[in-house]
Amino acid sequence: GAGVSQSPSNKVTEKGKDVELRCDPISGHTALYWYRQSLGQGLEFLIYFQGNSAPDKSGLPSDRFSAERTGGSVSTLTIQRTQQEDSAVYLCASSPTGHEQYFGPGTRLTVT
């Protein structure tokens, strides 16, 4: 079946604008994760959903970042008033509970 998809694949935005990043997980996967990866760095955990609820939001870097998940499926990560330091690849992954994660291809965000 289809894997995890993310859109857009690339996004260039001006500083101060809001952006929405979308993740379509694998059907039936209850867990969904968002990560951020800056150039040459490891993965920075942002938020984790179990179903529609987010038991762990501890990784969100500031109140400009928010995420939601509806219907236990699609998730949207919103960054308000983007800053240059928000430039990174944003990765989404889904998994059946407690099992390996399946990653999407990522969204490369560039804030100019």
Partner 1 sequence: SQQGEEDPQALSIQEGENATMNCSYKTSINNLQWYRQNSGRGLVHLILIRSNEREKHSGRLRVTLDTSKKSSSLLITASRAADTASYFCAPLLTGNQFYFGTGTSLTVIP
Q: Are 18 and 81 in contact (CB under 8 A)?
A: yes
**Only segment of 16-24, 65-73, 77-85, 95-103 that touches partner 1 (CB under 8 A):** 95-103
**Measuring CA to CA, which residue among 29, 26, 64, 61 is closest to residue 46?**
61
Beta strands in the chain (DSSP E): 5-7, 10-13, 19-24, 31-37, 44-50, 53-56, 65-69, 75-79, 88-95, 102-103, 107-111
Q: Are 52 and 69 in contact (CB under 8 A)?
A: yes
| Contact call for residue 39 and partner 1 (CB under 8 A) | yes
Q: How many residues bind partner 1 (CB under 8 A)?
A: 28
| Contact call for residue 45 and partner 1 (CB under 8 A) | yes
| Contact call for residue 35 and partner 1 (CB under 8 A) | yes
| Contact call for residue 102 and partner 1 (CB under 8 A) | yes
Q: Which of 23, 26, 54, 89 is the binder for partner 1 (CB under 8 A)?
A: 89
> By three-state DSSP, how is residue 36 classified?
strand
> Rounded to the nearest whole angstrom, what is the least distance from the CB of residue 3 to partner 1 in the complex?
9
| Contact call for residue 43 and partner 1 (CB under 8 A) | yes
Task: Give me the residues that bind partner 1 (CB under 8 A), please.
Answer: 4, 31, 33, 35, 37, 39, 41-43, 45, 48, 50, 55-56, 89, 91, 93, 95, 97-106
